[in-house]
Structure 1
Amino acid sequence: MNTILFSCLVGGIVGLGIFALVRALMPSRRSSVSTVAQIDAMRAASPMTGGTAEPVPTDYRSRLGHRISAFYIQQGWEMRSLRADLAVLDRSWESFLATKTILGAAGVVFGPFLFALIWQLGLGSSPIIPVWLALVCGAVFFMLPDLEVRRDAADKRKDLRRVIGAYLDLVSMNLAGGRGLPEALMAAAEVSDGWALMRIRNCLSDARITGTSQWVALGRLGEQLGIEELQDLSVTLALVADDGAKIRESLASRAETMRHRELAEIEGSAGENSQSMLVAQLLLCAGFLVFLIYPAAMRVFQI
């Protein structure tokens, strides 16, 4: 009976894996934005339009990353959240995909190697164990870069939001000093050479060169980095761009809101840390009580 149940379980898992593989290889429906972006990239790289093709990567890792990226585009997998995290960290999408693939392959090789060590210790001899270890280790190693990128991007977004709050105060002060909105936005971004203000300054400079309004460029930067505050700022500036008093009031209130939110997050983090310390102290006290009661309990029960 146990053999039949085990065979059914293995068959079901294998069938589910085959279905997932077939579903992954089938091209899914892409959004219109992805399709238009692909057409624009092909048109820009076409010699008939005078565009220059992208340089062909020479090393193996770059070629692997470009091939996997092309496969993602073909399947319609946009991965907007992950791309935004990589944009915050200023990392390449192709390099990230190549790292994931290489780590996944290393995990598949590491699984049987781990089984060899377990087999030498005499803890397992079933032939199905190395297969499961290879699959599990491959999946874990494949997902490790995602976890690292999301953790680092979350920390960097906190710093960026803190800088944006100060940046809004600086813009409001420049507007109060009599500067226009474009000059105030650029002057506030030039007070420091930190990475956050550098991204904002480069965005404003590109907007000036291309003839795009600066608040539209800030909205695109917020969409690229996954920062809602920049997108809301873009909408606000577009609505009240012609009224300096309303702009100052709006920026000041938005900066104050961001500061209150940051203080609330800091207080919540401090509360979580204090609760963790309380739990650790309770466990330490419980262990000390067990250490004191154990000899007396052994005497009472005559063990």
Structure 2
Amino acid sequence: MTTGLQIAMAAGALLSLGLVLLVARLTPAEPDLADALGRLTPTRARAGAAPAGNAVGGKERLGVWAMKTLPAGMWVRTPTRELALLRVPLARLYGDKLMFASLGLLIPPLLAWFFAIIGLGFPLTIPAAASLGLAVVMFFIPNYNAIDDARRARLEFARALGAYIDLVALERNSGSGTRQAMEAAAEVGDSWVFTRLSEELTRSRWSGLPPWDALHTLADELGLPELDDFADIMRLSGEEGASIYTNLRARSAALRTAMLNDEIAEANAIGERMSIPGSLLGVVFMALLVAPSLLRMFTNT
């Protein structure tokens, strides 16, 4: 009886997943205007952009269907800043969350069915509760992945920003204007950080917005305080005509010092964790040396 119910649960879960994927495949996806314009514009390829493919398209279509159909409150919290930094579409994140949750629903019934075949049956409540719990846990895995990827991207941005500030300082020292120095320095590198800065500066030129205001907006959108400080320094140069060469070099040196201190602290923490197994081995070795004497003493008494 229990084995039949488990097989029925697995078959129902597979059938439901098939229906969801079929509906997501047949539902017409709304094209992203920014992506469409980006494909039509002959710009440089962005570093870190995901390659086009059937799997990515399927996830985004599933995410678009979920955004239209499912209530907004079920997503709990969406890492908007992290997605903007990684340039990951919101629909792709939602598609990942639904696919991970579907896997969480399927894995326990399939395992229960396998154990039932080899003669190790479980009560029906165990795979049912495990399916719900695993689906909830795996539903939030894409959020944590986005947050972790964004953390590493911010570290990479800070490293590249130190070099960019030095380049801007050299351009300003050679007599270039504020905007000209920022744009020329952004064109030197080919990493995604320099590409992102160049895009924002170009957009600010065409919109008539001061470049430091564009960088302020980008820093607030992506959660980059280092870029916000740099924008403040450039605003002093652009609006008040202040000499900022020394300030820029000091700011880049401070960025490198802060990153070096963080790396030293992380290395020290790893070294402390590595010393724990050695200490435990020493304790075990001392116990082995003392144990025979203690056993002999207790046996004699």
- What letter is aligned with 1:67? W
Cα pair 2:178 2:237 within 8 Å, conserved: no
1:267 aligns with 2:272: no
**Identity among equivalent pairs (%):** 28
Which residue of 1 is the match for residue 153 of structure 2?
A: 156
Looking at structure 2, the residues matched to 106 and 62 of structure 1 have their Cα atoms a distance apart, in angstroms, of: 17
Which residue of 2 is the match for residue 92 of structure 1?
A: 89
Looking at structure 1, the residues matched to 128 and 242 of structure 2 have their Cα atoms a distance apart, in angstroms, of: 68
Cα pair 1:241 1:247 within 8 Å, conserved: no
Equivalences, count: 249
1:230 aligns with 2:227: yes
Instruction: Specify every segment of 5 or more residues in structure 2 that has no aligned partner in the other structure, as ranges.
Output: 1-32, 38-53
Cα pair 1:72 1:78 within 8 Å, conserved: no
Which residue of 2 is the match for residue 247 of structure 1?
A: 244
Question: Any residues of structure 2 matched to 1:134-213 within 5 Å, and which?
Answer: 134-213=131-210
TM-score by length of 2: 0.70
How far has the Cα of 1:221 moved from its partner?
A: 2.0
How far has the Cα of 1:60 moved from its partner?
A: 4.8
Instruction: Specify every segment of 5 or more residues in structure 1 that has no aligned partner in the other structure, as ranges.
Output: 1-44, 46-51, 53-57
2:123 pairs with 121, 126, 133, which one? 126
Change (3 A) 1:139 1:183: same
Cα pair 1:115 1:133 within 8 Å, conserved: no
Question: Any residues of structure 2 matched to 1:58-137 within 5 Å, and which?
Answer: 60-70=58-68, 82-117=79-114, 125-137=122-134
SS at match of 2:146: helix
SS at match of 2:251: helix
TM-score by length of 1: 0.70
How far has the Cα of 1:135 moved from its partner?
A: 1.3
- What letter is aligned with 2:250? S
How far has the Cα of 1:167 moved from its partner?
A: 1.2
How far has the Cα of 1:119 moved from its partner?
A: 5.6
Change (3 A) 1:244 1:280: farther
Change (3 A) 1:113 1:154: same
- What letter is aligned with 1:63? R
Looking at structure 2, the residues matched to 78 and 100 of structure 1 have their Cα atoms a distance apart, in angstroms, of: 12
How far has the Cα of 1:126 moved from its partner?
A: 3.5
Looking at structure 1, the residues matched to 228 and 102 of structure 2 have their Cα atoms a distance apart, in angstroms, of: 39
